[in-house]
Structure 1
């Protein structure tokens, strides 16, 4: 009896610690598969004899996979407990990374990369829900910790992929080593996954327990999707083109790469601070607009003085892009329940990553057409304006469950042009889970 009593107070802290460790290790894996490939893309192209077109497909796969597979997560959550689903997602990520480094086929490499990214896509959507479910009183802090871990994992994989490849004499080692990290991410979730009582929290009374939450039929769902898409465009355009901008302005390739890495490096402290603030302040819109303005100043600086003020512009851009973890916090704040969070997260990320796939492409087209960076930076600035406006809308205290079940909510939102994600929801082999994600 005494032993039981003594162990009881320590059970909760141990469980909380295990949950935090599990979330952090999963987060570290969420960008490593992308940044490690980016660092070794030339070696992969030579090793698999990829054409320029196929190399373009490889670099576009992440956003497409995040959009398509992320949309299936609400459908999966209704059938598999979240902890078990995270274990499965990390197992799929491990398998995909291993299989893609043992093939000599370009098509198989792309397919196995998509498999690995499917595991990431599901985890992308699940983590905000896990934070909402297990840390309802500290969503900002925990979101900050896992987005900080995500950034650290991305930076570490990008920096270490080439040295590891050189150490083992093959690009395959530089990509395959990250499968070990994904396998480790399974371990903290095994106790919860093996627990028979593990299930999604029951819906609160008064929120139509028999009804599915469809964010595509709510204003808050579309506002969050647009906001997530606009900030994703900036992030992926930066990863794809910022180093080239600095090279064009007179920096050496190695210095341009360091400046690109600086966007992540300078943002790391703020990646923890900003989501914590978002979870505590009363006016989230002021925080979002402030970060958006910082990004706008960095774009203006890059347009007029890309060489002389490079470090300042990179610093401001890095801080401005911490609007990404803020968006994850707001997803949790705009839902009352874990199932509302996962539905809203899936919809916002599915539509958002679909838009994000267009960002680097549009920047590249404008750069080739004009031979300079004024037009591309102008388009990114326009995206910032939309981001700021959507940020004001998502800051209003509304909940997706309330809008989804309000009178007339069964009718589709008027005057909204269909997106690729919306089209996929009506056609194709993933039609049912995509419709349920919406």
Structure 2
């Protein structure tokens, strides 16, 4: 779209006989970056389908477990402590395995790594429900989360490579699919479990079917020479080297922004139903309110990235989203029951910091190489930062017996999040700050 090409360097138009003059636009990059051949035109819809199907599978492994956690604990004789640790496993795995994504992508290509990631999610979700003990359950969960981790990091890279002039639109599309998968798994797991006989093992295992559907498009893309050449290291997108991102203020701001918003999202998913139930609402109403919060991300995850790419500075969006969160937490403290639906909507808006963070990752580098490093750094570092948040909220709630202090802490997190968003939203790239050469 015309308004979204501002963030990308313009290249001379391809001549009719030039390599890559057909199909998808050649990947853009910094001056002197080697450009690969363009894939055939039919690859475009297949990449879109692959992105959407992959995004749908980046959260059901997590949100399908929550509604059945008590059944899983009983079936596996899992202690409450281990169950609590289980809720902290996803961000830990995202951080650890996310750091490996750039090296894997340089060696095998991002498409091949995402393909393997979807296969890992399928295998993990298929094995996990039929394990006989907690260690095997955790190992199978880690396998699925490993696939999710590399998908988290490399999705912005695929967008940058195949759709350099539509970063906002395509980021919005797969962010919307991710939000839809998150909400659908949370809402549909229990009804599907009941419809399939009531076994929690079947209720968890059925999500492997959705994951399996995401594998074929990536297999075709990896096997097709024109598509693979455009997204391979030979195409110049994922060259090794580069100055450490530790020197980049923008990279650190993105990592902090990503980490604080991730912590807030896990706090919301883990604790908001309890807040509403403690306010006197029924369990079904509390679950519905959480679904409303999650569903808000579906349309806004498409709108916000497109809006962000039209602005030179994305800081104001980060501030508005943060203010919505502050209003929600204030409302939860003052009138948790009477204004519950409004607070759920405001929390849903605030949680759309996630697609904004993904969009800024794609905009803060000129090259595919920069995006893959920045995505790995911001997401892995951010997920490490997010681990203590949900645990701390639980400790404060248990020690105080109420929600006043935990809600104040949740609101307090939003202040540095907004500051980091303002810094990360400035119109500059990591190459400007680190003098990377890709």
**TM-score relative to the length of structure 1:** 0.87
- Does 2:216 align with 1:187? yes
- Conserved? CA contact 1:331–1:344, under 8 Å: yes
The verdict on how the C-alpha distance between 1:194 and 1:221 changes in structure 2, with shifts beyond 3 A counting, is same
- Does 2:361 align with 1:334? no
1:429 match: none
Q: For the residues of structure 2 that align with 1:353 and 1:265, how far apart are their CA atoms?
A: 22
Q: CA RMSD in A?
A: 1.9
SS in 2 for 1:68: helix
2:203 match: 174
CA shift at 1:314, angstroms? 0.9
CA shift at 1:169, angstroms? 3.4
1:200 match: 233
Q: For the residues of structure 2 that align with 1:144 and 1:337, how far apart are their CA atoms?
A: 20
1:231 match: 261
- Conserved? CA contact 1:35–1:157, under 8 Å: yes
Equivalent of residue 129 in structure 1, options 153, 157, 165:
157
Q: For the residues of structure 2 that align with 1:252 and 1:188, how far apart are their CA atoms?
A: 43
- Conserved? CA contact 1:267–1:315, under 8 Å: no
Q: Which runs of 4+ in 1 moved over 4 A?
A: 8-13, 201-204
5 Å-filtered alignment, 1:16-415, equals 16-166=44-194, 167-196=196-225, 197-198=228-229, 199-200=232-233, 202-203=235-236, 211-405=241-435
1:171-218, Cα deviation, whole Å (9 max, x unpaired): 1111111111111101111222113453136448xx9x6633532332
Q: For the residues of structure 2 that align with 1:211 and 1:123, how far apart are their CA atoms?
A: 22
- Conserved? CA contact 2:315–2:425, under 8 Å: yes
Please list every run of 5 or more consecutive structure 1 residues that lacks an aligned counterpart in the other structure: 1-7, 410-438
The verdict on how the C-alpha distance between 1:92 and 1:385 changes in structure 2, with shifts beyond 3 A counting, is same
CA shift at 1:13, angstroms? 5.0
**TM-score relative to the length of structure 2:** 0.87
Moved more, 241-250 or 53-62: 53-62
Q: For the residues of structure 1 that align with 2:40 and 2:418, how far apart are their CA atoms?
A: 40
- Conserved? CA contact 1:40–1:171, under 8 Å: yes
SS in 2 for 1:40: helix
- Conserved? CA contact 1:213–1:343, under 8 Å: no
Please list every run of 5 or more consecutive structure 2 residues that lacks an aligned counterpart in the other structure: 1-21, 25-38
Q: For the residues of structure 2 that align with 1:292 and 1:236, how far apart are their CA atoms?
A: 16
CA shift at 1:282, angstroms? 2.3
5 Å-filtered alignment, 1:4-23, equals 14-23=42-51
CA shift at 1:251, angstroms? 0.2
